[in-house]
Chain A
Amino acid sequence: MARRRFAAAAFGLCLALGPAAGQAADTVTIGFTAALSGDYAAYGVNMKKGVDLAVETLNKKGGVTYKVEAVDDRAEAREGVLIAQRFCSDQAVNVVMGYSVSSIALAAMPVYNDCKLPVLASAVTSPALSNSSPYFHRNVLTDAVQGAMMGTYAVKSLGLKKIYVLHQQDDYGIGVSKAFSDAAVKEGATIAGTEAYLLGDKDFRTLLTKVRAAKPDAIFVGGFYTETAAIAKQARQLGIKVQFLSTDGALNEALMKLGGNAVENMVIYGMFDPSIKTPSTADFLTAYQATYKEEPSAWAALGYDATMTLGAAVDLASKSGGVTREAINTAFSQLKDVPGVTGPTTFEPSGDRSGSLYFLTVKNGKFVLAPAQM
């Protein structure tokens, strides 16, 4: 009996899925994946808000209908591969967006490469992803670029001489810290030491005791906001009162929620800041605030821009034939200066994008533009 019911259900499912494959031409389905729950959820949740807003805008414009199918990878690499396989085998999915953890995107790329499904990521910054596949594009700067700019900024604009580097032990943390250290050393600073920690670590006192003994004048944390907040907090408890530097991994409101007043004056960087109003960002800012009742973060801005870039690519692809996975991927590499709230988007052959960076600092529990920019 149970088996017969199962068979009937499977048959019904086939009927339901059948027509979906046929309508791919005028519907573009975005497979969205990122960590949407857990300790590292803020990037993905913010990105998705940006994507949803852009999809709404694109759908209002008419023509092609956009649809988002979101899957939570919980910041676990094995989930990432399973999700990639799922998107690959679902013929309705035309493009994959999102990604908040570099190691997960790296694990998933071979799968996308095999099934020729284009990926446009917005929050993975590891240099290892450059040239990883002809189907990989991202509209966020790589750590090699961002970390190096931060290293130069720390020494030249902030005048720091002796910096201790802490980083999370994964593709993101290692990449960004190396770029930072190299640039800082080139500008004449010394790196007092480098230590790694694992994602999910809670106790940094032993590590920080070692840092204190080295007497640095700044600590750079190449990691995500959860650990960065904990490190800043525990450093204060151990009487460490030095300048804290971090990356776009700390660029989330959750940093202040978790770190309280211990993260005041921390300097970080990002590709977007709501306080910088230009004509191209004004519409986005008003629409975002009206929809979500909060200021957009850099991740929301990048998600929004990525979707708008996809819109431009789909328009280009439909002019030269059908909107297929292959056509969208070809269109990505042909796009030139697509306007966006984080600046114009053009992809390099490596799949990366060039752009500018803002340096931000925490003042009274809010991110503000740092007094010195580069």
Chain B
Amino acid sequence: MDYFGQLLANGLVLGAIYALTAVAYTLVYGVVRLVNFAFGELFMLGAFLTVSLMASEVQLFGATVPMPALSFPLAALVAIALTALLGIIIDYLAYRPLRKAPRLAPLISSIAVSVVLQSVAQTIWGSEQVHFPDFGLADLDPIVFFDSIYIRVMDIVVMAAAILAMIGLSLFIAYSKLGRAMRASAEDPMAATLLGIPVNRAIAAAFALGSGFAALAGLLYAQSYGFAHATMGFSARPQGVDGSSAGRHRLDSRRGFGRRAARPDRSLGRRLYAGWIRL
């Protein structure tokens, strides 16, 4: 029982992080029907940016560069903002020119983006693991439940952050003007354009939000395991895609996520599978 309880706790923490990654994938898939493989790398960049901003100096391109040594929450926010911005740039450069192209073209483009980002990260931060700096909250003794289940304060922060981020996103999609625009673009881009909705801006917003979520997941993962690594996004990718196809939500549902999840013919997994076969 002790064993099971601890495994459950470990699993919940990891699950919260994967859920955030899944949200990133689904958000963009919902709007443009694109599995953006580059989210794995944005996950990694979120981690690297946070690590770098928290350190007093880092090795970039093999040279030592002084850094601002921000606190964890501040570094995390800046990293999320930077990654979100990068998400918009990626959309503009790699996917927007392919908006009218067959669906596999942007998918392959996203694989290319992911390879490029991974190489860039390896060039900048090197191919070795980078240690996640210790900070006050992470150094607290774990809280013990039932005398056998150890949960760190940061684990609780991770789960709370994941839940808050997801509630916030649901409200944003359901009630904000941009959220409505995103839903409209998801349902029928042509009709949305005719109604005067800036579809490309709505798509950019989806990329920004998705990238922010990927970055949040990445930095929480790095914090939890104590390192950032250039290929860490690669291992998070399958879990994210699985997660997003298992708990698939569509943005055209007014009542929030998950209404049409039980439509096997449209399941992302099957589409991906078909995609691979065709490749």
Residue of A37, A206, A233, A239 near B7 (CB, 8 A) is A206
- Tell me whether A257 and B6 are in contact (CB under 8 A): no
Please tell me if the beta carbons of A202 and B225 are within 8 angstroms of each other in the complex: yes
- In the complex, what distance in Å separates the CA atom of A261 from the CA atom of B133? 11
Q: A202-B225, A206-B10, A237-B150 are in contact. Are A213 and B129 (CB under 8 A)?
A: no
User: In the complex, are the beta carbons of B134 and A41 less than 8 A apart?
Assistant: no
| A38 with B128, Cβ < 8 A, contacts A206-B10, A213-B3 known | yes
- Asked whether B71 is an interface residue with its Cβ less than 8 Å from the other chain, the reply is no
Contact B142 A238 (CB under 8 A): yes
Q: Chain B contacts of A261 at CB under 8 A?
A: 134, 139
Count of chain A residues near B, Cβ 8 A: 26
User: In the bound complex, do residue B131 and residue A257 qualify as a contact, i.e. CB atoms below 8 Å apart?
Assistant: yes
Known A213-B2, A213-B3, A238-B6: A203·B129 in contact at CB below 8 Å: no
In angstroms, Cα B232 to Cα A332, docked, is 44
Given contacts A39-B129, A209-B10, A226-B129, contact A258 B226 (CB under 8 A): yes
Interchain Cβ contacts within 8 Å, total number: 58
- Residues 1-44 of A at the B interface (beta carbon under 8 Å): 37-39, 41
Query: Would B152 and A237 count as touching, CB distance under 8 A?
Result: yes
Determine the distance from Cα of A254 to Cα of B144 in the docked complex, in whole angstroms.
Answer: 31
Are A260 and B225 neighbours in the complex by a CB distance under 8 Å?
A: no
Question: What sequence of 0s and 1s flags, for each residue 134-145 of chain B, a beta carbon within 8 Å of any chain A beta carbon?
Answer: 100001011010
The answer to whether B169 has its CB under 8 Å from any CB of chain A is no
Those of B1-19 within 8 Å (CB) of chain A: 2-3, 6-7, 10, 14
Chain B minimum-CB-distance residue to A41: B128
> Do B3 and A210 touch (CB < 8 A)?
yes
Q: A234 near B: Cβ within 8 Å?
A: yes
User: Count of B residues near A, CB < 8 Å?
Assistant: 23
Is A209 in contact with B7, judged by CB distance below 8 angstroms? yes
Q: Roughly how many angstroms separate A213 CA and B147 CA in the complex, as a whole number?
A: 12
Q: Are B226 and A233 in contact (CB under 8 A)?
A: yes
Cβ-based interface call for A205 (8 A):
yes
Are B14 and A203 touching (Cβ within 8 A)?
yes
Docked Cα-Cα span, A234 to B142, in Å, equals 11
Question: Which secondary structure dominates where chain A touches chain B?
Answer: helix
Question: A239, B225: Cβ atoms under 8 Å?
Answer: no
Least distance between A324 CB and chain B CB atoms (Å): 37
Instruction: Tell whether A106 is near chain B: CB-to-CB under 8 Å.
Output: no
In the complex, are the beta carbons of B142 and A239 less than 8 A apart?
A: yes
Q: Which residue of A lies closest to B224 (CB)?
A: A237
Contacts of B6 in A (CB 8 A): 209, 212, 238
Shortest beta-carbon distance from B40 to chain A in Å: 14
Say yes or no: A202 contacts B227, CB within 8 Å.
yes
CB of B127 closer than 8 Å to a CB of A: yes
A258 touches B129 (CB 8 A): yes
Least Cβ–Cβ distance between B122 and chain A, in angstroms: 9
Once A205-B10, A206-B10, A209-B3 are accepted as A-B contacts, the answer to whether A238 and B127 lie under 8 Å apart by CB is: no
Q: Cα distance A230–B225 when bound, in Å?
A: 7
Contact partner, B127, options A37, A212, A239, Cβ 8 Å: A37
Q: A213-B2, A237-B142, A239-B150 are in contact. Are A203 and B131 (CB under 8 A)?
A: no
Taking the closest CB of chain B, its distance from the CB of A88, in whole angstroms, is 28
A292 nearest CB across to chain B (Å): 15
Query: Chain B residues with Cβ under 8 A from A258's Cβ?
Result: 129, 131, 226-227
Contacts A205-B10, A209-B6 hold; do A39 and B142 have CB atoms under 8 A apart? no
Q: Which residues of chain B are near A213, meaning CB under 8 Å?
A: 2-3
A366 to chain B, nearest CB (A): 16
Shortest beta-carbon distance from B226 to chain A in Å: 5
Contacts A257-B131, A260-B134; A230 near B142 (Cβ below 8 A):
no
Query: Min CB distance, A284 to chain B, in Å?
Result: 26
Contacting A at CB under 8 A, from B212-271, are: 225-227, 229, 232, 235
Residues of B within 8 A of A37 (CB): 127-128
Separation of A299 and B165 alpha carbons in the complex (Å): 47
Q: List the A side residues contacting B152 at CB < 8 Å.
A: 237
Asked if A238 contacts B225 (CB within 8 A), the reply is: no
Q: A309 vs B227: C-alpha distance in the bound complex, in angstroms? A: 39
- Chain A residues near B229: list those with CB within 8 A: 39
Across-interface contacts of B2 in A (CB, < 8 A)? 213
Shortest distance between the CB of B132 and any CB in chain A (Å): 9
How many angstroms from the CA of A238 to the CA of B139 in the assembled complex? Answer: 12
Contact A234 B225 (CB under 8 A): yes
Closest partner residue, chain B, to A213 (CB atom):
B3
When chains A and B are docked, how far (Å) is the Cα of A209 from the Cα of B14?
15
A76 to chain B, nearest CB (A): 13
A 240-267 binary contact with B (CB < 8 Å = 1; else 0): 0000000000000010011111000000
Q: Mind listing 25 A-B residue pairs with CB under 8 Å?
A: A38-B128, A39-B127, A39-B128, A41-B127, A202-B225, A205-B10, A206-B10, A209-B3, A209-B6, A209-B10, A212-B6, A230-B226, A237-B142, A237-B150, A237-B152, A238-B150, A239-B141, A239-B142, A254-B128, A257-B131, A258-B131, A258-B226, A258-B227, A261-B134, A261-B139
A interface, CB within 8 angstroms of B: 37-39, 41, 202-203, 205-206, 209-210, 212-213, 226, 229-230, 233-234, 237-239, 254, 257-261
Shortest 5 CB-CB contacts between residues of A and residues of B: A239-B150, A209-B6, A205-B10, A233-B226, A38-B127
Q: What would 4 more interface pairs be, CB under 8 Å, given A239-B141, A239-B144?
A: A39-B129, A203-B225, A210-B3, A239-B142
